[in-house]
Amino acid sequence: MEEAERLCDRVAVIEAGRVAAVGSPAGLAGRLGGEQRIHFQPSGPLDGQLLADLPEVTSVTRTGDTVVVTGTADALMAVTAALASRGIVAHELRVEQPSLGDAFVAMTGGGRPSTLN
């Protein structure tokens, strides 16, 4: 799937011998909505409620030093603005958006790809 995302302009997802979807890898992934997962390590103490109260945020979890925020397509801007207002820097910031693999699973119910063109 990662190779198809990097190399293909158009992708066809075929399930049970029928075309389930055709489009660009980004377009197919975009059908899942604009959910983002934002991973970072705050430079200082952070009350998770500060981020959980943002309308763009759907969840905030913490694993060790890493905070993971899930939210809408606008969550990154809202989270970084909230952190900046408190003087907190987001170290090792990483943003994940739905991938072609996520789209495939959503369209086919989770099996391995039978054909990608």
Strands 18-23, 11-15: pairing is: antiparallel
**Which residue ranges make up each domain of the chain?**
1-32+98-117, 34-97
DSSP string, 19-87: EEEEE-HHHHHHTT---EEEEEEESS---HHHHHTSTTEEEEEEETTEEEEEE-TTHHHHHHHHHHHTT
Specify whether the CB–CB gap between 22 and 12 falls below 8 A. Answer: yes
Q: Are strands 90-96 and 57-63 parallel, antiparallel or unpaired?
A: unpaired
What is the Cα–Cα distance from 4 to 51, expressed in whole angstroms?
Answer: 35
pLDDT in tens, the chain (117 residues): 888 888 888 988 888 888 888 988 878 877 776 688 999 999 999 998 999 999 999 999 999 999 999 998 889 999 999 999 999 999 999 998 878 888 888 888 765 444 444
| pLDDT tens, position by position, 12-30 | 888 888 888 898 887 887 7
What pLDDT sits at residue 5?
83
Strand pairing category for 115-116 and 57-63: unpaired
CATH of domain 34-97: 3.30.70.100
